[in-house]
Amino acid sequence: MIKAGIVGGTGYTGVELLRLLVAHKDVELSVITSRSEVGQAVSGLYPNLRGHIKINFSEPDFESLAQCDVVFFATPNGTAMKMAPQLLEAGCKIIDLAADFRLKDTGVWQQWYGMEHACPDILEEAVYGLPEINREAIKKARIIANPGCYPTAVNLGYIPLVENGLIDDMHLIADAKSGVSGAGRGATVSTLLCEATESVKAYGVDGHRHLPEIRQVLGSVAGHEVGLTFVPHLMPMIRGIEATLYGVLKVDVEDLRQIYLERYKGEPFVDVLPSGLAPETRSVKGSNMCRISIFRPQGGNTVVVSSVIDNLMKGAAGQAVHNMNLMFGLDEVTGINQVALLP
């Protein structure tokens, strides 16, 4: 059994991680920390876990975390980078679900996150945990930067096109839509039911933190910097991201879908849909799957890709467990091959 710890398990990413880990056959959850909820039963905060978990939230202390084989950080940005060096030293593996280790360039990180990076050397070592591009590196990693939710949906949708140089990658346009759970469980007016339901809006148009993360990944598969306009939107629902991606073809391609099928052949969590069918976010609700469709409207030279994930699963906790499975040599789908809840 893998002994697992969670730092900061009170948000939506945390409770989703708990849902997966309490049912994972190879994991024993030994510690969950939360400064704000010390001593409270985890199932008191999350009644869906009643009967599935007995432990209480504890102080985030080094001693108990150091006993774990793997520590997940489901904390605000800036927390994991402070505790990572000591835990790695103690022999723990680390999976950070926040952004501390996602951007390789510390300058860019500081610009978008407003903090100086606490451990640039470990940042250099950290592996970006998108299995579809980094599977082998993940298997050998000590520390994983678990990808952001929007970047996962956008990158999986763009990779086959960008990797093969098929589109003009200086003018990419990603129009993404997310459920409200992506904004977290903090008490803010803008995410109240009465503010967010029965409404749609763009936000962060002038610049969202996931922009440099997407550009880093696509730039790496392209082999050069890419140009991207990324506009996220808030949807009146809990879970799910749909990213509609636009690109202008540079070369003529007979069967775009075939390129996706080949690129993702054997991937357990990427599903390329039949032609003509756009994916619904509900088809992945509670599941770790990313479903993708490719279109070429009216046979023109603009490609349209629609990519959907559950932001709390493939966009956060599910992908984190996928990374853990890879790091510990387990069958990679263990504990994350749930069928989506529909309806």
- Mind telling me the catalytic residues? 149
Residue 46 near residue 15 (C-beta atoms within 8 A): yes
With contacts defined by CB under 8 A, name the span among 78-86, 110-118, 292-300, 321-329 that binds a copy of itself.
292-300
Instruction: Please report whether residue 48 would count as binding a copy of itself according to CB under 8 A.
Output: yes
User: Closer CB to a copy of itself, residue 102 or residue 239?
Assistant: 239
Q: Which of 291, 314, 316, 327 binds a copy of itself (CB under 8 A)?
A: 291
Of 87-146, binders to a copy of itself (CB under 8 A) are none
For a copy of itself, which residue of 203, 225, 250, 262 counts as binding (CB under 8 A)? 203
**CA pair distance 13, 315, nearest whole angstrom:** 9
Nearer to a copy of itself, 22 or 143 (CB): 22
Interface with a copy of itself (CB under 8 A), residue from 142, 295, 328, 334: 295
Residue 338 is a binding residue for a copy of itself (CB under 8 A): yes
Stretch that binds a copy of itself, among 32-40, 62-70, 291-299, 317-325 (CB under 8 A): 291-299
Q: How many CA atoms lie within 13 A of 311 on its CB side?
A: 24
State which amino acid sits at residue 207: G
Instruction: Please tell me the distance from the alpha carbon of residue 197 to that of residue 229, in angstroms, as a whole number.
Output: 26
Q: Which is nearer to a copy of itself, 253 or 273 (CB)?
A: 273
CA–CA gap between residue 151 and residue 264 (Å, rounded): 17
Nearer to a copy of itself, 10 or 87 (CB): 10
CA atoms in the 13 A half-sphere facing the CB of 72:
37
Strands ordered across the beta sheet of 2-7: 57-58, 27-33, 2-7, 70-73, 93-96, 143-145, 127-128
Q: How far is the CB of 87 from a copy of itself (least distance, A)?
A: 27
Single out the residue of 26, 40, 49, 104 in contact with a copy of itself (rule: CB under 8 A).
49
Number of residues near a copy of itself (by CB under 8 A): 85
Among 194, 224, 251, 252, binds a copy of itself (CB under 8 A): 194
Q: Does 55 bind a copy of itself (CB under 8 A)?
A: no
Which residues ranging from 214 to 273 are in contact with a copy of itself (CB under 8 A)?
Answer: 227, 229-231, 233, 235-240, 242, 244, 246, 248, 271, 273
Cβ–Cβ under 8 Å, residues 259 and 287: no
Q: Which of 106, 108, 70, 74 is nearest to 88 (CA)?
A: 70
By CB under 8 A, is residue 38 in contact with a copy of itself? Answer: no
C-alpha–C-alpha distance, residues 190 and 208, integer Å: 17
Judged by beta carbon, residue 194 or residue 251, the one nearer a copy of itself is 194
94 to 65, 68, 85, 164, 256: CA distances (angstroms): 11, 10, 10, 33, 38
